[in-house]
Amino acid sequence: MFTLIPQIVIGGADLIAAFLFLFGLKRMSSPATAPSGIRVAGVGMVAAVLASFLYLFTVDAAARPHLLVNVGLAVTALLVGGAGAWMVGRKVAMTAMPQMVAIYNGMGGGAAGAIAAVELFGGRTQGATQLVVTLLGGCIGAISLSGSVIAWAKLDGLLKAPFRVTGQQVLNGLVFAATVAVGGVIVASALGVEGLGLTTPTWIWVFFALALVFGVLMTLPIGGADMPVVISIYNAFTGLAVGLEGFVLQNPALMIAGMVVGAAGLLLTVLMAKAMNRSVANVLFTNFGTPAKGKPGAIKGSERPVEASDAAIKMRYATSVIIIPGYGLAAARAQQKLYEFVKLLLAAKVSVKFAIHPVAGRMPGQMDVLLAEAGVPYDMIFQLDDINDDFATTDVALVIGANDVVNPAARTDKSSPIFGMPILNADKAGQVYVIKRGQGKGYSGIVNALFYSPNCNMVYGDAQAVLVQMIEAVRGLGAAAA
């Protein structure tokens, strides 16, 4: 009877945690309710963690001293990890958010891989099915860990360019095949097949080493502009690995949370691939980001710079303005100044909207979070499909630190690496102003044909400094009128 009550309590806590995960995720579907959704899901995670300590009361008294040692290690890990995450999370800049998400996602995959390793080395897997599921979860978790570390290094600038060699896909295929083969050897060894040459623990070490190497090889060839897709892929991988290890541990909370995260990550991957005009298979099995074959189309003309004050005055007397934020806005930490400028336009009866491309920035949703942080109302923020038709009737489009997502070459130049990718139709606005640090190429290294269009002018400079000048120019008009 003593052990029955905690089991019921643990099961109930897991169900409550699972409900909170699902309810929190549902609320995250809207920017207005996302903050509360995150808090609800956080409460669910706390409930799941606390419930795990109740397992201490489900074992015999003789086994408790050994289990207490593990509890002490678990508490220490929670304190160290929680304190570290709290301090880093409070200090991380918005520009560093993508790499933080990437590395934390990798830690989730690593945790799933560690669970698999403990089960395998401890010999606690029972039957071929459970062993195969454990190996599968461990493999996916290890791939997510090492791949996410490479993604983090690329986002953080430690790895500058894609690393590609001849026959890279063949090499990747061989490493993956070797990983599967070693997994098969482990299963065969556990089922009593003899004569395999190495002990089972040795094969387990080889298995995880190969999985980690595959994660590295899988991510190294990918260009930096494709990181939003990479992050969503590894998010799906981590969720799947956690769900599989939840099955191994017979833990409903882990299974449900893993399945939810995996499904959400897969859906996000599909949406990101669609936004870049790629299939999921193309994303997973080719060097996406590789330039298309053929000679790029020649771009005629030159970039035409204007002063920030001239652009601001043009927008002040416009009827409608659409603003397209990109990573340059985050890098300059200029979102507050942007909204300050927008409020001046709104006070002058100018219609202002924000247009968000699905792959703008370094990770999915970064621009939405950036604008929300500045206090921009949600009803002013529109996604690509909802606003693209409005550009043709808009007086001014203001592009801030964005490149590929407004490049008209995606519609016209078949030799362009981004040909076919849906873009924001900024070039169809009556006038386009682009705030950019200098004349260099964007993050993907592609020249933007928009910058040379007759209706486009460049405003060179740091986004925050430029917006300060625009604010002063509009305010100066009001002072002069008074």
The pLDDT of residue 390: 94
State pLDDT tens for residues 288-341: 444 444 455 556 667 899 999 999 999 999 999 999 998 888 888 889 999 999
pTM tops 0.75: yes
Residue with the larger pLDDT of the pair 250 and 62: 250
Least confident of 109-118, 173-182, 194-203: 194-203
- Amino acid in position 332: A
The pLDDT of residue 294: 45
The pLDDT of residue 353: 95
The pLDDT of residue 224: 64
- The strand order across the sheet containing 320-325 reads 381-383, 351-356, 320-325, 396-400, 431-436, 456-460
The pLDDT of residue 4: 56
Instruction: Indicate the pLDDT class of residue 441, thresholds 50, 70 and 90.
Output: low
Residue with the larger pLDDT of the pair 430 and 55: 430
Q: Residue 176, Cβ neighbours under 10 Å: how many? A: 18
Q: Cα(266)–Cα(214) distance, rounded to whole angstroms?
A: 20
Kindly tell me if the per-residue pLDDT of 280 is higher than 70: no
Residue with the larger pLDDT of the pair 110 and 196: 110
| Four-CA torsion 370, 406, 98, 233, nearest 10 degrees | 130
Alpha-helical segments (H) within 30-126: 34-52, 64-91, 97-121
State pLDDT tens for residues 370-416: 888 888 988 899 988 899 999 999 999 999 988 888 988 888 877 77
The pLDDT of residue 293: 46
Q: Cα(375)–Cα(385) distance, rounded to whole angstroms?
A: 23
Q: Cα(152)–Cα(171) distance, rounded to whole angstroms?
A: 23
The pLDDT of residue 424: 93
Least confident of 42-56, 86-100, 278-292, 461-475: 278-292
Least confident of 1-10, 62-71, 112-121, 129-138: 1-10
Average pLDDT (81-95) is 82
**179 contacts 204 by C-beta, under 8 angstroms:** no
Kindly tell me if the per-residue pLDDT of 195 is higher than 70: no
DSSP letter for 298, please. P
The CATH architecture assigned to 308-481 reads: 3-Layer(aba) Sandwich (3.40)
Instruction: Indicate the pLDDT class of residue 469, thresholds 50, 70 and 90.
Output: very high
Kindly tell me if the per-residue pLDDT of 276 is higher than 80: no
Of residues 14, 368, 390, 404, which has the active-site annotation? 404
- Tokens standing for 142? 């290890």
Alpha-helical segments (H) within 92-199: 97-121, 127-155, 168-190
Kindly report, as residue ranges, where domains of CATH 3.40.50.1220 are found in the chain: 308-481
The pLDDT of residue 430: 94
Residues forming beta bridges with residue 381, ordered by sequence position: 354
Give the three-state DSSP class for 311: helix
Residue with the larger pLDDT of the pair 281 and 233: 233
Compute CA distances 204 → 125, 139, 243, 452, whole Å. 13, 11, 21, 57
Whether 462 is catalytic: no
Instruction: Indicate the pLDDT class of residue 281, thresholds 50, 70 and 90.
Output: low
The pLDDT of residue 459: 94
* % of the chain beyond a pLDDT of 70: 85
What is the CA 6 to chain-centroid distance, rounded? 38
